[in-house]
Amino acid sequence: MRLNLEDIKRKEVIDISNGERLGYIDDAVIDIQTSSLESLVIYGRNKLFGLLGKEDDISIPCSKIKVIGNEVVLVDLESHYINIMHK
């Protein structure tokens, strides 16, 4: 199966280790040296309409992706595996 970034951005990400809905994919990290996809990124959501800042971004390594379905992406993250990206 081949997907472009626009196709995958329409899919909701769910952590199968705890059933948590993480959000929708916003971006991808690509290694230009090897032309390989490293991780998917979910941007942190605004807190109180942005008045209180925003949550941290979540970076999901490709090794944690279990299934890419028609409507969702299932990942297996344990709390210590989540790589929070700080801006």
pLDDT (tens digit per residue) in 34-87: 989 899 999 988 777 767 777 889 999 999 999 999 899 999 987 544 444 444
Helix (H) or strand (E) segment spanning residue 7? helix 5-8
Pair type for strands 57-61 and 65-68: unpaired
Identify the CATH homologous superfamily for domain 5-85. Answer: PRC-barrel domain (2.30.30.240)
Cα dihedral 17, 20, 24, 28, rounded to 10, equals: -30
pTM: 0.76
Q: What is the pLDDT of residue 79?
A: 55
